[in-house]
Structure 1
Amino acid sequence: MNITIIGCDGAYPRVNGATSAYLVQDKETKVLLDCGSGSISRLQNHIELKELDGIVISHYHADHYADLECMQFATMLDTFEKKREKPLVIYGPGEEQMLTYKNFCQGNTFKGKESFTIGSLTFETKLNKHGIEAYSIKVTNEDDECLVYTGDTGYYDELPVFCEEASLLIAESSCYEYERGKLSGHMTGGEAGIVAEKSGVNTLILTHLPHYGDVEKMVDEAKQFFNGEVILARYDSCIEV
């Protein structure tokens, strides 16, 4: 299993960039975690849209799902042109109506702690501490390789426990340490490091990055609390789990 960073910006995309979107590939299965602004354009640097099996949305803030409707429309066109043979599977919290699109996209919802499968991958959800209903997502393949994507969340004690089976943690780092506690529902690089250290993961990827300050400093902030590998998310980087 590997994961490719499609988008990693917080709030809005940088020039030629994208907000939250992460392509998980395992054997023949391809699933996008979140579908933020600019993600569908950048995704096509790696796969054709017709190849995507599913999308899992962590929550409904625009920087995590803004391109979803574009992807639904692309799926319809690919089906009309006989490029796609099966519906796109979409999971997310809330109402199924916004995820289902005619016969082209099959919407499914989750609430609280749930588990579901897309292809060779199993997904588990964990309710976060955020301003709206939002989830962390655990992804496990048939070889028990495991990663966790936090989506958007403030730190809470149950989060490291949820991550304990993972070797890779993709954690939001919206704030610097001097801002800890000032932005509700988000973590600092240091808090992401605490989650990584307590959970026992091998590698921490910092994402959902701010548009101000020196984001490289977040790596050092995370390393103050975590003894494993710390990586700053970059567009198009691919990490083996």
Structure 2
Amino acid sequence: MTIVLINPNTSPNTTEAMVKIAREALPQACITSVTAAFGSPLISDEPALAVAAEAVRAIDLTRFADLEGVIVAAFGDPGLDALRQTLGVPVVGIAEAGMLAAARGGRRFSVATTTPDLVDAIERRAERYGIRKQLASVRLTAGDLAETMETPGLLIERLGAVVEAAVSQDGAQAVVIGGGPLAVAARALSSRARVPLIEPVPEAVRRIWTVISGPSGKTVP
């Protein structure tokens, strides 16, 4: 049984970090990975998100003979809907899994992220998953995006400030860290938040495992 984690950006370092976190979340599963063959090393706007969706659709998953599930590990869930139409196995996106977990029980939640040009795409995904009314805010880190992403300590600091603002100013009862490349920072912040802090990669792993282990193992509820 194999679960394939697709990184829709072109950064092998991001892929490696996400797969490590995914395997820690579900040690009993065989989790392997594929990195997008073309596109951007950081999906920071809607044109890059569209190219990422093309890159995801272009991946040949037939080489995985024992494929049981696929995780699309970018927060815009690029290519997710197309894969669901063509594959006979469950496909889960990290935005889908993260936001649904945050919204569980009717909670108001926020998304903490670094990419201002993807706010609309995130809000559309919340609408797509039926939880737009529970989305309190999409909060963005301060400062230069490149500087933030290139400095791990600064990324954690700025994301931490965003999480606190979402709770204290927006009334968020849970916060999702919105981005595959933010997975390591999400792990570092998970024990510090005053409300549940949702790490989307582990949530996607748990969600797909639940589906695979269910009665049909074919579709996401």
TM over 0.5: no
More strand by percentage: 1
TM-score (norm 1): 0.35
TM-score (norm 2): 0.37
More helix by percentage: 2
Taking CA–CA contacts closer than 8 Å with sequence separation of 6 or more, which of the two structures ends up with the larger relative contact order? 2
